[in-house]
Structures are given as C-alpha cells and as structure tokens.
Structure 1
C-alpha cells in the first residue's frame, strides 16, 4: 500500500511544509510503514524514503523547529542505514521532548542495523519516560510486532554476539520501555494515617 501521510493536528503545519519540500515520490514508493496512535491521534510513516542523502541534508540545513525534527524523523526511514543512523544521532542529541518522535525511534529497534539499536538502548534512560510509557500503552500491537522483529533479528544475525535474547540491545530497550509503562501507570499508595 502506498504511504498515506497522517499526522496529529499539532503537527499538521510542519508536516505540510515538510511534504512540500520533499520531491515527488516514485509512484511505486514509498510503501506504508507504520500507523500508530500518539496522544489519541493517528501518525503514519513511510516504510522507507528513497531520496538522495544530499537532498535530505539540504532540507535539514534549511529547516528549523518542528519541520527539522520531522525531517529527522523521516530520515530515520531513509533507505540508507548510514543516513538513518545520522538522523537518529541528531534526534537523540537534540533531546527532543516531542511525543510524536517516539514511534520513529521505537520502530528502529525492530530493524537489523545493530549500531542503531545500540544507540537507542543507550539513549532510553535519557528519553522522556512519560512519552515512552504513553506511546507504548497506546500501541500494544505495534510494540508486540516490534518485539517479534527484535527476536527475529537477534536470532538471525546477532545470536552469536549476544548469547541470550535478554542481553540483545533491542530487548534491553524494549524491556526498559515496558518497565516504564508499569511504573508510570502503577497507582500510588495513599495513606490516611496522620
């Protein structure tokens, strides 16, 4: 299925501006990637974008604010793993506190580039725990699919390096996110004692 852009209302202006800057896609590309819920609204991303790296970097240099952040998010969907890694590094370095960035980062855990997965696993402790927990709780099917992909890539490519699945950085990151869901949603104990 061809990618159908869908963004939360708060992101519509930036998304429209970014999509105008991107060259018209090949009609056979990009394919629909993921559709998730962010703060009760739908956000979709392409499976991959096929754009010259120089064109994407030019857009990044000329953009700022939400448009630049969204361009970095789209860069995490780029067909070149080095471009995906560079865009991720910039997203993580910026310390983005936007809830709609989370799905672009979590999606990368279910892919095969170990350097990207290690970056995310290292970054999880510095990310906004409320955003991670909220996203995970609102998207259980997406999280389950990501976990299956993590398991599959570990089994196919990384089992020799990480002898146990729980040691694999993708699993470490997903387990940390699941822990956040539990700790963010646990009811607090209120005592009536003086």
Structure 2
C-alpha cells in the first residue's frame, strides 16, 4: 500500500518500515489507510500515496533503530496521519533531515491543508534552504499545484481570514510563492514562463 510512493530501489526499506507500523488505529477506526490517493509526477514517474493514514504513531525508540532512509520513509508516511500533531512532528523531522527529492511530494501535500502551524513551521525551515527542487516539482505538477494553492486559499478564507485579514501577508501565500514558486503563470499553464 505504500510502495508506490517511493522509488523502486527503496523497496526493502519501505517493507521494513511497514513492518513496524502499529496495526492499532486512532479512535479504533476500522481502516488504517484511506481509499483516497494522492498522485503526482516526480521526474516523469508516477508517485502515489494514501490521502490519510489512521495508524497510531511509532514510538521514538522504534524509530531510532531505523536506518537514515527508513526514517525518511517513515516520516513521509506519517506526514499523511489523521492527527495534525503527528503530521507536524514527522514533517518537521523530515524537513530537518537532508531529505531526498522523493520526499518532496509529501512535504508539498501537507502544505495545502488547514493547520496553519504546519505552514508556519515549513516556511520557517524552507525559507533558509535552496528550494529549486520544490519549484521544479511544482512546475511538473502544474494543475495539481494550482489546486493545492486554491485549497490553501480556501482554508485561509474559512479559518484564518480574521487573524490574517490581508492575504498577501498570510504565511501560506508566502510559502507557496517564495518556496514553491507559485505565480499567475501556473494558472495560465505556460511552463516556459515558470522559470
């Protein structure tokens, strides 16, 4: 269920991570993984992963026994957790690692969701990094990225408009424009003008 979200050369690492994920779920939900999937392109290859997972988080002592790549895989998987605190914890750990390009779809996806603290944390970390790899990924997934931008705006409008009355100052907008490279050119679908 998770193999399609990672490069084939990580098959054994993903298998090892899946073995240690608890079978227990939050609130005894009867499924561990949502039927809805996220699908992106990454360097021309399709990447697919669950929209949400409901499994309880992995204990730190278990996480610490994993290799570097296995930890990165686990952080990616748990960035899809139904619990916002768990998503934030694993996303933060992922952002502070020397993550590889295959982690980018997971990072970008979390940023079109409704937890403003995750947007703030992600922006704070990414604004200090070279984000060309994120911009390339977003250009490759132009239509989906535009939908993500629209989702981010709708959550601002629904939940944060009172606190951040001027959208141009909203942290989600700053993250999408500065770190992910969003511009009006994305909406026009003209790849030559993205650069």
Normalising by structure 1, what TM-score?
0.81
Counterpart selection for 1:83 from 83, 86, 102:
86
Write the deviation string for residues 122-158 of structure 1: whole angstroms up to 9, x where unpaired: 2222334231122111111221111111011000000
Counterpart selection for 2:127 from 125, 128, 145:
125
Tell me how far apart the structure 2 counterparts of residues 50 and 135 of structure 1 sit (CA, whole Å). Answer: 27
Aligned twin of 2:96 = 93
Indicate whether 1:16 and 2:18 are aligned.
no
Counterpart selection for 2:47 from 38, 43, 46:
43
The Cα of 1:5 is off from its aligned counterpart by: 4.1
Aligned twin of 1:157 = 159
The Cα of 1:64 is off from its aligned counterpart by: 1.8
Tell me how far apart the structure 2 counterparts of residues 141 and 10 of structure 1 sit (CA, whole Å). Answer: 28
Structure 2: segments with no counterpart, 5+ residues: none
Aligned residues: CA RMSD: 2.7
The Cα of 1:11 is off from its aligned counterpart by: 3.0
Tell me how far apart the structure 2 counterparts of residues 162 and 93 of structure 1 sit (CA, whole Å). Answer: 27
Structure 1: segments with no counterpart, 5+ residues: 187-194
Equivalent residue pairs, number = 182
The Cα of 1:52 is off from its aligned counterpart by: 1.7
The Cα of 1:115 is off from its aligned counterpart by: 0.7
Normalising by structure 2, what TM-score?
0.80
Tell me how far apart the structure 1 counterparts of residues 137 and 77 of structure 2 sit (CA, whole Å). Answer: 18
Write the deviation string for residues 4-37 of structure 1: whole angstroms up to 9, x where unpaired: 6413234333223222333458774412331111
Larger radius of gyration: 1
Between 1:15-24 and 1:74-83, the stretch displaced more is 15-24
